[in-house]
Structure formats: C-alpha cells, structure tokens
Chain A
C-alpha cells in the first residue's frame, strides 16, 4: 500500500513502462502453512490454456516481443562453464542482434557463483544485472552453513541477485518451518539484494504443493519466486506459473507487498513467451509488466524472439544461421 506506481499512461498493451518500487518493510503475520489454498488441477490447466487463445498481432506482438526480450535472464548453468563462455554470453546480453537497431538488452545474466566476477567485469555499466544461483544449486542438498557461505561468496563477488533453491526433500517431508527458516536465513544474508526462490516445481508433484511452497517463500522474504532450476523436467509450464502468479496476487492483497515472478526452463519459443505475458497481464495487471517484476529464465528464447522480430520487420521467415549462438 505504500507503493507508488509510475502512472505514465501507455495505452498499448505490453508497452514498456518505468517503475518505482518502494520496499515495504512492515511486519506481516505468518499464516499456518499446513493449510494453504487448494488448487484444482483441471481448472487451472483449463484457465492456463485460455490465455493461449488470445490472438496477439501487430503492435501488441511487437511490443510483447521487445518486452519479453527485456525480461530475459540469459542463462548458462553448466559444469563446463568457463570465463570465456561467460564473457561471450555477456557480450550477447548487451548486443542481442546489432543488425536490428534499438533493441533492448536482456534483464540479467544468470550464472554460477564462481562466474559472477567475470560476468560483472564483462557487463560493466551496461545496467544488466548478474544473478547467481547459490545454496548448493541445483539440488540444495547441503548444510545451511554451506548454503549461506555459497550465498555470501556470490554476494562478495558482486552478484546483483541471488537465485536460491528450496530444500524440496524437507518440504515434501512436511518440514515447512525448516524450509521457511532457511529462506529467511538466506534473505537475511542477502540484505537488500533481491532474492529469487526456486521452488523446483517439477519435483513438487501437485499444484497444491506449488501453491504452498510459493506462500512459504513469499512469507519468508523472497523477492522473486521462480519455478525451476532448468535441471529437472518438467520445468516452467503455464499452469504452474499461473498458480504462482495467483499466489503472488493473493499475497499482495494480504500484505500489500509485491513479489516478482520468474518462470525458468522450457520457454524457448517467442509465441509461448507472449502467452506468458498475456497471462501476467491478466492475472497481475500492468504493474507487473516489466523486468523488475517478471523475468524469463531462458537460454535459447532470445534468439527465437530475435528471429520473430526480424520476420516482423522484413516480412520474411528467418534462419537460425543469421543469429549468433553464444
């Protein structure tokens, strides 16, 4: 409720907007996580598929593609990541497709903690953020001390955002307080650095559990909730993202605090990205329609969007050979 949203009017859907956010620091009563809102699977999937019935054309499509591009956390999370690979990725982040003038950059690049320093240096003052996956990513199977130390290492190297994983084993055992406390501890370590909490929805099994994990994460101090590590299939899906967006909406109504959303993994086509934006637009509204409040965790989405943009500009279907792979 203490929020001030830039009221600058931009009638076209998916038009880019500036945003001012004032962190809300009031005390929030913690609910009993044993009883969270139930989700009907068939209903939520039906609703999610309704968004894909929207027909996104012309100006709306163009704006949507540019916005989606600007929301990408360009990601490399591999054991074989090296300084060279990360540097190339950072260059790509800043110069998506120079043949097309006036493109935005991506929002962030997402790397392991050991790569943060290289990335920071490579990105310079581009404004692109560096997100580090921490807390014994991707499994989270380690001690709290290790996870905190992992987080602090990433922060010390200059990470702008921390992507943590929840302890799914503990969560599925019903140890919700453990999960909550762990997130709170990591958030404590993060301070003002924004924390993304990865639920790894592909391991949770049901939408009810996704809803529960979302609530635990938000009440424990997450700035973002994020679907997946990208290491588990299924990763992000529209219904799972819808459940999380609805959790964000309910949390917002309950507390006045905005939480950002990041679906990650499995979104590689521009058309699908547009449907995610339709869903965001119709569940959380225009205030969330920017890269402060929404990100796509993806590695190959950017090029597909670029191909679409070129197709829109030239009227000709594109070949991947004309778009750099980094």
Chain B
C-alpha cells in the first residue's frame, strides 16, 4: 500500500504522547522495614552468618532495605525446619485443610495487593501499572488455583496415587519476584511438599512480604521458609542432602550448573531457563494487533522476560509496513519512573543487567545491524534503556542467537512458511513462540511445528494459572501452571 510514497515524507508525530502529567503512585501505602531477617520455621530470625546486604531501587539507586544473607548454617536450619514440618505436620494434614491454608494466602495477597505492587515496583523497577495489573493479581490467582487442587489430586493422575516428594528447594529470579514465588510455592504446597525458597538478591522484598503473610496466615511453622542471599545461598540449597526437589527459574547457564550439581543424587528438578523466542508475522496477519504483540513481546517488563519475543520474523511483503507501525508505536512508549502510573517501560533491574544489555546493543551495531531507538529521554538517575530494535539482522548475528534479557529486538524478514519454521527452530532454546496469521490451518501447522513449550497464536505474553508454562530444549524442563504443573511435585505410585 505504501509503495507510492517516498519514505519520510509522511510521518506521524508523537511528541505529545509522552508528556502526560506525572501520576505517581504513593510510596506511603507500603511499609518497608529497614532490615529483614530470614523467615525460618515461622519466625523472622537473625542470620547465623551475621551478614546483611542492601537492596536498592533500580530507578533511583536509593537503598530500600537491608536483608539477611543466609549462610550455609542458615540454609541447614531452614531445610531442617522444612523437613520437620513435612514429617510432623504437612504430609499428615488432610488435603482439604492444606487447601484452606493456601486459599488463605491467596486472599491475603489480594487484600494487600496495593502494598505488594508498590514494593515490587520499588525493588525491581517494573512499571507500577504492570505490578498492579499483572504481577500481583496473577500471583494471588496462582495460589487460589492450586489451593483447589490439594484435595483433588486423585483426579489429576488416572490410576495412580500422587505422593509428595518432601522438601522442595526453590530458587527464583528477579524479573517477576512475587509471581515466581507463587508459581513455585503454590503447587508445592498443594501437593503436600514443604518449601525453602530463595528470592533473587536484587528483588527480595515482596518474597519477604509474602513471608509476613504466611506468618499471619498461621501456616504451620516450617512449611514455607524464605531465606535471602546470593548465588552461594542458592548453591547451598541445591547441594543440601536433605532436599528432594529443586525448582529453579533463571539463566540456562545456572540451570546447567544445577543439573550437574544434582547429577549424583535422586533430587528431582524443574528448570525454567532462558529463551530466544521467535515472533512470526505473516502477511495476512491482523497487523496492528501483531504490532501490539511485538511491543508486548519485547518491551513488557523491560524485556526481562524469559519468553520475550526477542526474535521478530516479518514476511517480506509486509515488512516495511510492520516496521513503520512498530516504530510509530515505540514512539508512544513512556519510559521512566516506574512509580508513574503512565510509565510503560520502567527501570532495568540492576547496573549489571544494564551493562549486559548495552554490551549487546554495541554488539548489534558492530555486527552491522541497523539500530532504531525510540526518541524518549531517559531519567538521569537509575538504570534505564531505550526501547531498541535492530533491523537487517542475520540469523548468524549474536543478537539473534543469545538471550539479551532486555528491551532489544532482533528483526529479520522471511519469504516462505518453511523458511520461517526452520529459522524459528534454529536455536538452542525452546521456551515460546508467536504466530500471527489470519489463516486457521496455517496457525495449526506453525504451532505444531514450533519446538517450544508455549505458543501464542495471534497474541503474545499471556499467562494464566491454569495454563502450563515451560520449555523444550535448553529452555529447561518441567511445567509450571495448570494440571501439568502438578507433575513435577509428585511421585506416582
């Protein structure tokens, strides 16, 4: 359609789209303690390590709180508490009673939703709109969903009895701190396991807030233990002899280390690792919705999403049009203070992650890809990155192969279905994929050929407690969410 018109002669201007008066969410609705201890056996206890570390607001670099660094002795203590709770109370408790505790947690998260959202945004840098409308409600819903499974497991596994595994060690990332805690804890408790959970060191606060709720909910002491720390703490959990199950969400590199570490044991594992999802736009797609899917796919949560649609494939006949629409849409993204209700793209989670993203942006330019960034201004303080796309990318470029985990999109064009199927699967990862076409039979061809655990057709980055999530290939194994999310926490007899 646009062939007759020379580029740049017709242009929409969106300068005004970014200058809404700030609408800042109030910090006062949330209480953050100056110091947080370890939540072990139903109590907040000072770390035996005697060490603490600071967690900061990545949008302002201000210190929010000081949290305990769990050492090996602390991990031992937490695992012992979980073991005792498992043997003495949790596995003996009637399943319907277990369910009621989990329901209670769900309800209390809903009650404190606003406080959770504020803390999530302050600690992690994600826009308040996302923590308010996505992270927190989805986390509460996840508990609510799995609560109901606790006394219905005999219907989930035909001809088998589902037994709990024991103590689950769970290590979660910084991109969806509360939601990942929910994804880990809810199915573990529903199936009768007890938990030692470690949140990421840059985003420990909502997990600790969850610990307060768990305490308030009168969950038997030790059923859930939440201990903070860095990689060493995680390693101590993974290597602890009395842990029966490891659930980890994070990078593929660490996932491999974990698999190796537990190779000589009978520990079961669920690993949710990296991704480099292909988002594929065919020429008959609803293009405006596809562009919205591209935007959601790569700029949701600053691109800190393992299933981010970070490789875009656009059919050549609509390539120019899609890029134009994408650029226009990028111009309306508001980047800045995550606490502003109008912010679309918040702060990068940490200085280190920002450096990684910037390294890839530099690399993309060196590799000869053509960069476009939205014209927004970035705040002076804090860690921010402009929404970035690269066109003229080749499959062999590293920005098209490696997970960047930031708001950076690598775009390639394609001609035929076979070509794009081959390119989309031409990766070590297999977490997710996106397909956009108006043709039903093509959707089913593509969705069934994608070697990926979650395939979004004519939509992207949708999540639901009932919907299993997890990868193929180096994106890990095991599923979280839905009926299939129960399997990794039971042995069938």
Contact = CB atoms under 8 A, between A and B. Distances in A.
A43 interface: yes
Interface stretch (A279-287, A293-301, A307-315): A279-287
A46 B9 contact: no
Interface string A220-239: 00000000000000000000
B289 interface: yes
A180 to B, nearest CB: 17
Contacts of B133: 53
Given A38-B438, A253-B1, A285 B12 contact: yes
Interface string A28-65: 01010000011110111011000001111111110000
Nearest to B320: A253
Contact of B10 (A38, A246, A252, A286): A252
Nearest to A31: B1
Given A43-B458, A57-B21, A60-B21, A253 B13 contact: no
A144 interface: no
A253 B16 contact: no
B19 A11 contact: yes
A1 B133 CA distance: 41
Nearest to A250: B1
Interface in A236-262: 246, 249-250, 252-256
Interface in B236-257: none
A44 B1 contact: no
Interface stretch (B47-55, B176-184, B201-209, B279-287): B279-287
B23 interface: yes
Contact of B284 (A1, A12, A38, A61): A38
Nearest to B332: A282
A13 interface: yes
Contacts of A249: 12, 328
A94 interface: no
A250 B287 CA distance: 11
B16 A285 contact: yes
Contacts of B324: 253
A119 interface: no
Q: Is the interface of B mostly helix, strand, loop or mixed?
A: loop
Contacts of B20: 13, 54-57, 60
A111 B473 CA distance: 66
B293 A1 contact: no
Q: How large is the interface on A (under 10, 10 to 19, 20 to 34, 35 or more residues)?
A: 35 or more
Contacts of A57: 20-23
A289 interface: yes
Interface in B1-17: 1-2, 4-6, 9-10, 12-17
Nearest to A54: B342
A14 B20 CA distance: 9
A286 to B, nearest CB: 4
Contact of A256 (B9, B13, B21, B342): B9
A12 B321 CA distance: 30
A58 B21 contact: yes
B459 interface: yes
Given A38-B286, A43-B286, A285 B17 contact: yes
Contacts of B9: 1, 256
Interface string B453-465: 0000011000000
Nearest to B340: A55
Contacts of B6: 1
Given A38-B438, A55-B20, A253-B2, A284 B12 contact: yes
A285 B327 CA distance: 13
Contacts of B398: none
B46 interface: no
B459 A43 contact: yes
B285 A38 contact: yes
B286 A39 contact: yes
A13 B5 contact: no
B87 interface: no
Nearest to B437: A38
A256 B5 contact: yes
Given A246-B288, A282-B332, A254 B21 contact: no
Contact of A286 (B14, B23, B438): B14
B292 A287 contact: no
Given A253-B10, A253-B324, A43 B292 contact: yes
Contacts of A285: 12-14, 16-17
Contacts of A53: 129, 133, 341
B5 A253 contact: yes
B5 A40 contact: no
A161 B21 CA distance: 35
A54 B15 CA distance: 16
Contacts of B14: 281-282, 285-286
Nearest to B318: A37
Contacts of B286: 37-40, 43-44
Nearest to A2: B9
Contacts of A37: 286-288
Interface in B268-314: 284-289, 292-293
Contacts of A289: 16
Interface string B134-178: 000000000000000000000000000000000000000000000
Contacts of A13: 16-17, 19-21
17 contacts: A1-B10, A13-B17, A15-B16, A31-B1, A42-B458, A46-B292, A53-B129, A56-B20, A56-B23, A57-B21, A61-B21, A253-B5, A281-B14, A285-B16, A285-B17, A286-B17, A287-B13
Interface of B: 1-2, 4-6, 9-10, 12-17, 19-23, 129, 133, 284-289, 292-293, 321, 324, 328, 332, 341-342, 438, 458-459
Given A47-B288, A253-B5, A285-B17, 14 more contacts: A1-B9, A1-B10, A13-B21, A14-B16, A38-B438, A43-B288, A44-B289, A47-B292, A54-B341, A59-B21, A246-B288, A254-B1, A256-B5, A256-B10
4 nearest A-B residue pairs (beta carbon): A43-B289, A55-B23, A55-B341, A40-B286
